[in-house]
Structure 1
């Protein structure tokens, strides 16, 4: 009778456990860290990732590199991070779209599950959008816009930077909460949206404050409201949409945060979260993020996770009510 040889198996198990413990306890980081931005260079997520990376280099004592992997509504870059080694050296600068909205819009097309395949590290910023219109149009407030849309069903066209993103959901939420019909027109990039508002090809657009700032300053567009809950410190002169008589309580913001692949050791997540919190205490970084249209909101991993779950549930209701699909 042969006796099973368990010694080699036991040795292999102990070696694996020791390796995992060593990884969790090893100084972090000891080499460059890569932050993947799931969009092309030059956009809001990219700009904020780069200014954050610059500060994190000092805090972490290692190079922090930003790598753009655009395409697929942010899903290509996110999936690349999901497949990366879970060692804290490949991170995702994710937005609400690819981490909390896309599962409800793209469903079976998704090749990863954000809430299980990505570990929340820290919320970085909340990013409200503003509603802008051509200054020649008759409505000067959100309530006047809603009244016009109610009297002219479907004639108010609103531009966004794509199907199923927070701008699109902002328009659908507005339409349903006010009981009006708005027509969605998706674009590729904020500049084209704004140019078409100025040219009269569409009536309004939802766009980031940073994207619209120069157009607002030059008087080429009229700002009706901001999607943050209450007047935003980013633009205190712009009224909150939630203050209007017809859209009480209305709010919908994009947000950017840092994520790591599932399985990343808890001590590494803790170190990264502390590094982000320390970085965001820098007044220069804070000011730069605000200039880019973001309101810094650091959070613990557990707080960020709870926030994502709450936001995801709300986004799911909007997508379902509006019947948003990739072809919308």
Structure 2
């Protein structure tokens, strides 16, 4: 066969393979899921991301008609779990319940050390909740308000240690923003998850932590830690009894919120992403689920994949400015 005669055949075969692949993807989405779905939480059990992922999974089991399993893969400021999802088959059966840290902040902190690119290696499915952090301290310490904490920090440079779930995540940025805005020296102590940092606040090993309301609520109720501020822009309806750092005299206008969303590996067929997005949106419409998320300190915030992608870009730009101004590096 002459080359000129082969070209139409090659074009036909290429077109046929595209149609076949597309048809297979739609067929797969039509039956998806046929086995359990795993949601990877890139932090240890007991923290805010973990708690909300488990609540969402309960509803998704009903909506998807399959088991939804939570797998905790903590460490590396959320990057170990995120990277595991990036490397997983792009078939909709391994998902990430990601926070702002490993998806919007870490590229600015870790740069070339990153082994994945969040905006290209992860496919946004939907934002799930926005989550303000709570500033909690050991109840035996002398400061009972944010202003008293700042006064103590000014008088005792570096002696206020604050724990976070890892370098460069929104909790770390919350501490750096506080230190810069109040012109005080705070010492950062990174952990693998919220539960350990809370235990160390209770035990007196560190003075305070920034943590999601979900992770701290029971400790606050039990009087094991004292909540002195919430990082939302103004008082939060989720915790009206906790004053906003925003309103304190020493940190006027301060605010920084975290958020959690669902992601799939790059290359996941669009019909499966659409199916998952529809499942999340349907789940978040359920009043019982919404009430549980609010009780955990999260504001349900469903989005389309396109809206979520745009939201991440905006948040990345905001967090990137804080990282640059505070000169945050992996060694902070």
Same structural fold, with TM-score higher than 0.5 when normalized by the shorter chain? yes
Residues 1:122 and 2:120 are matched in the alignment:
no
Deviation, structure 1 residue 22: 0.9
Deviation, structure 1 residue 166: 1.6
Q: What is the aligned partner in structure 2 of residue 164 from structure 1? A: 168
Q: For each residue in 1:36-80, what CA deviation from the matched residue of structure 2 results, as whole angstroms up to 9, or x when unmatched?
A: 323344443233222212211221233333334444332233223
Which residue of the other structure, out of 57, 69, 73, is the alignment partner of 1:53?
Answer: 57
Deviation, structure 1 residue 261: 2.3
Residues 1:29 and 2:32 are matched in the alignment:
yes
Q: What is the aligned partner in structure 1 of residue 159 from structure 2? A: 155
- Cα distance in 2 for residues equivalent to 1:40 and 1:201: 19
Which residue of the other structure, out of 277, 280, 288, is the alignment partner of 2:281?
Answer: 277
Instruction: Please say if residues 82 and 262 of structure 1, whose CA atoms lie closer than 8 Å, have aligned partners that are also in contact.
Output: yes
Q: For each residue in 1:104-150, what CA deviation from the matched residue of structure 2 results, as whole angstroms up to 9, or x when unmatched?
A: 12111112111112121100112222112233333222122222322
- Cα distance in 2 for residues equivalent to 1:193 and 1:39: 12
Higher helix share: 2
Deviation, structure 1 residue 13: 0.7
Q: What is the aligned partner in structure 1 of residue 272 from structure 2? A: 268
TM norm structure 1: 0.90
Number of residue pairs matched by the alignment: 328
Q: In structure 1, the residue corresponding to 2:285 is in which secondary structure? A: coil
**Equivalences for residues 176-325 of structure 1 within 5 A:** 176-325=180-329
Instruction: Please say if residues 31 and 63 of structure 1, whose CA atoms lie closer than 8 Å, have aligned partners that are also in contact.
Output: no
Instruction: Please say if residues 36 and 91 of structure 1, whose CA atoms lie closer than 8 Å, have aligned partners that are also in contact.
Output: yes
CA distance 1:12–1:226, shift in 2 (3 Å) = same
CA distance 1:70–1:200, shift in 2 (3 Å) = closer
Instruction: Please say if residues 29 and 62 of structure 1, whose CA atoms lie closer than 8 Å, have aligned partners that are also in contact.
Output: no
- Cα distance in 1 for residues equivalent to 2:117 and 2:196: 32
- Cα distance in 2 for residues equivalent to 1:67 and 1:56: 15
CA RMSD, Structure 1 to Structure 2 (Å):
2.3
Q: For each residue in 1:191-245, what CA deviation from the matched residue of structure 2 results, as whole angstroms up to 9, or x when unmatched?
A: 4433443444433221222332233223333221011222222211101111112
**Equivalences for residues 102-141 of structure 1 within 5 A:** 102-141=106-145
Which residue of the other structure, out of 88, 94, 117, is the alignment partner of 1:90?
Answer: 94
Q: What is the aligned partner in structure 1 of residue 3 from structure 2? A: 3
Q: What is the aligned partner in structure 2 of residue 13 from structure 1? A: 14
CA distance 1:36–1:214, shift in 2 (3 Å) = closer
CA distance 1:199–1:53, shift in 2 (3 Å) = closer
Q: What is the aligned partner in structure 1 of residue 104 from structure 2? A: 100
- Cα distance in 1 for residues equivalent to 2:301 and 2:132: 13
What residue ranges of structure 2 are gaps of 5+ in the alignment? none
- Bigger drift between 260-269 and 1-10 goes to 1-10
Q: For each residue in 1:139-183, what CA deviation from the matched residue of structure 2 results, as whole angstroms up to 9, or x when unmatched?
A: 222122222322332232222232222211110011111222212
What residue ranges of structure 1 are gaps of 5+ in the alignment? none
Deviation, structure 1 residue 277: 1.0
